[in-house]
Amino acid sequence: MNQFVRILILSFVSHALWAQQFTPIAHFVNNQQVYNPAAFGMHASKLNFSTFSRLQWATIEGSPKTAHLWADYKYRNMAGGLNFSAQGYSGYSNTEINLNYAYRINISKKWTLASGMRLAWSNHAFSTDEFNIWDQQDAVISSSTYQKSQLKLGAGFHLNGRKFYAGLASADFFANNKISLEGDTAESFFKRKRNINAFMGTRIRLSDAYNLRPNIGFYYYRDNGLITQINTTFEIKDYFWAGLTFLSYGSASIQLGTHISSRLRFAYAFETQALFGVNLNTHEINLLLTMDNLFRKRKD
């Protein structure tokens, strides 16, 4: 029975994870660069590095694992950035590296609007060497090993104010070779289905030290419909924050974070979901490092 449940769960996630999309993450508020090239340069600091790892459904052997790194540098009204991600479960793997550029214009003293472009290279692969849930005599699976690569072009917009932000992006607005397990083989550029992500949030000032930050994210994945992610975070400025996130497909998570130093922020998220009668727990760790003025000499 446990083996049967594992097969059902991994079959379910294969549809959700490998259709050229990125799994919704708990710490999406501080890592919008994962989804939107226009979000590069959105932080107050000029030079940032962020990394997170996600162990999804930790109690299931062969469950999805994600490692991600992004970095950005802001100069005047421009920002450039690099994204690297590696995802895998059982015998499947997906590696992507992308370059990003964002340009910002000042609408007013309080508002800026950024547009961004992304050039990405993705590699999708399946190997029976790591695929441990199958019949060794199954000729169909044993002959299904593949490795495919593609180039993608993405675009996005990001509106940022003192107390509000909103972003909209498509990470695969154009792809030179559609790799889709769902059969999206349309040759026409305008008929191809695309993934679309949107985020917005605001800051409610409770006092000089305390803030409340409601956020919402939307993920539209072709043939999977719309996924909604709702988050509310309570923040003690420059010290600690805690948040709750709910996703429309039935998972909930709690996030805790702290400023280890003026440059380093650490956050952890615990997510739980019930699927096929099994409670599935996910762990996510995020580090954000700011490097402004790191090598500047102090004046006597």
Task: Give every CB contact of residue 1 below 8 A, 6+ residues apart in sequence.
Answer: none
Q: What is the pLDDT of residue 57?
A: 81
Task: Give every CB contact of residue 262 below 8 A, 6+ residues apart in sequence.
Answer: 290
Average pLDDT over residues 10-29: 61
The predicted model scores a pTM of 0.82
Q: What is the pLDDT of residue 297?
A: 53
- What is the number of residues in the chain? 300
CB 161 within 8 Å of CB 131 = no
> Which residue segments constitute the domains of the chain, with CATH numbers given?
2-290 (2.40.160.40)
Query: pLDDT tens digits, residue range 61-79?
Result: 777 889 999 999 999 999 9
Q: What is the pLDDT of residue 131?
A: 59
Instruction: Report d(CA 129, CA 238) in Å as an integer.
Output: 47
Task: Kindly indicate the confidence band of residue 273, based on its pLDDT and cuts at 50, 70 and 90.
Answer: confident
DSSP 13: H
How large a percentage of the chain has pLDDT more than 90?
50
Phi, psi dihedral angles at 298 (to 5 degrees)? -80, 140
Query: pLDDT tens digits, residue range 151-186?
Result: 889 999 999 998 999 999 998 888 765 555 444 555
How large a percentage of the chain has pLDDT more than 70?
76
Higher pLDDT, 1 or 145: 145
Query: pLDDT tens digits, residue range 203-241?
Result: 999 999 999 999 999 998 776 778 899 999 999 998 999
Structure tokens belonging to residue 203: 């800051």
